[in-house]
Amino acid sequence: MKSGFVSVVGRPNVGKSTLVNAMVGQKVAITSPRPQTTRNTIRGVVTDPGGDPPSWQMVLVDTPGLHKPRHELGDRLNRLVYGALADADAVAFVLDARRPIGPGDRRIAERLAADPSKVVVLVNKIDGVSKEKIAMALTEAARWDFGAYVPISALFGENLKAVVAETSARLPEGPMYFPADAVSDQPDWFFAAEVIREKFLVRLRHELPHSLLVAVEDFEVRPDGLVVVAAKLVVESGSQRGIVIGRGG
């Protein structure tokens, strides 16, 4: 069988996590309108649904958005991406059809130019964009001469079969890394912490910095299926604590 790791890379907020969730078929990566919501390399597992045994299995590595860092967190997030690229068998390079290709996209393309055949360029967010804009984005990206180009809407699942076909075709022969029904290599408590962090990022938007940390202290699944989570929220200052718990909280 074919198997391997597919790094999903791109600028912040181009839809990388939405794409990973759509390909896996359930939520394994949190999303929000804020850049740098993804702070870890999240792995989602997709296995050939039509094979017995499966003919391929890909491990999608959702990475933080590559950007020009302005602080230590930014440096750390970029290093995570570069590490994921070094280990990748294939790369899904995500662009935003609603924004012109910019210097950040070009810097990523330069990083990927050493092995262009393993790169699949995905022009995302084509829903609500004119065919002319999509064609312009594809034409400009084609100058990089990567392995394949696919226009997609990760949010609405458009052209995902083509994404799977192009990425799985680039995987080497290898073992089955995870059981066929696996969706991620992360434990349940990790997803609980990420969902809690997502809700704070979405509800508080620009008021709350990315330095918020969620530490799960207890995770229990009761016999009736109820999941009980005890978590600690860690912020950098007293003023941030007030933002999280409210005045007088």
pLDDT digits (tens, 9 = 90+) for 135-184: 999 999 999 999 999 999 999 999 999 999 999 999 999 999 999 999 98
CB 188 within 8 A of CB 219: yes
Give the per-residue pLDDT at 222.
Answer: 93
List strands edge to edge, sheet with 42-47: 42-47, 56-62, 2-10, 90-96, 119-124, 148-151
Percentage above 90 pLDDT, the chain: 50
The pLDDT confidence band at residue 95, using thresholds 50, 70 and 90, is: very high
Q: What is the pLDDT of residues 189-227, one digit of tens each?
A: 887 888 888 888 777 766 665 667 888 899 899 999 999
Tokens of residue 78, six digits? 């970029």
More confident residue, 234 or 58: 58
| Residue type at 224 in one-letter notation | D
All structural domains of the chain, each given as residue ranges with its CATH number in brackets, are 2-168 (3.40.50.300), 188-245 (no CATH)
Tokens of residue 153, six digits? 């809407």
Tokens of residue 12, six digits? 């912040």
The pLDDT confidence band at residue 69, using thresholds 50, 70 and 90, is: very low
Give the per-residue pLDDT at 206.
Answer: 62
Distance CA 68, CA 106 (A): 12
What average pLDDT does range 24-49 have in this prediction?
A: 72
What predicted TM-score, i.e. pTM, was given to this entire model?
0.76
Checking if the pLDDT of 67 tops 50, the result is no
Checking if the pLDDT of 53 tops 80, the result is yes
Percentage above 70 pLDDT, the chain: 82
The pLDDT confidence band at residue 50, using thresholds 50, 70 and 90, is: confident
Distance CA 179, CA 196 (A): 28
Which stretches does DSSP call E strand in the chain?
2-10, 42-47, 56-62, 90-96, 119-124, 148-151, 213-221, 227-234
Which residues are CB-contacts of 231 (< 8 A; sequence separation ≥ 6)?
Answer: 192, 193, 196, 214, 215, 216, 217
Q: Can you tell me which residue has the tokens 């005045």? A: 247
Checking if the pLDDT of 101 tops 90, the result is yes
Which backbone phi and psi does 123 adopt, to 5 degrees? -90, 105
Q: What is the pLDDT of residues 104-129, one digit of tens each?
A: 899 889 989 989 999 999 999 999 89
Give the mean pLDDT of the chain. 84
Which residues are CB-contacts of 93 (< 8 A; sequence separation ≥ 6)?
Answer: 9, 10, 108, 109, 112, 119, 120, 121, 122, 146
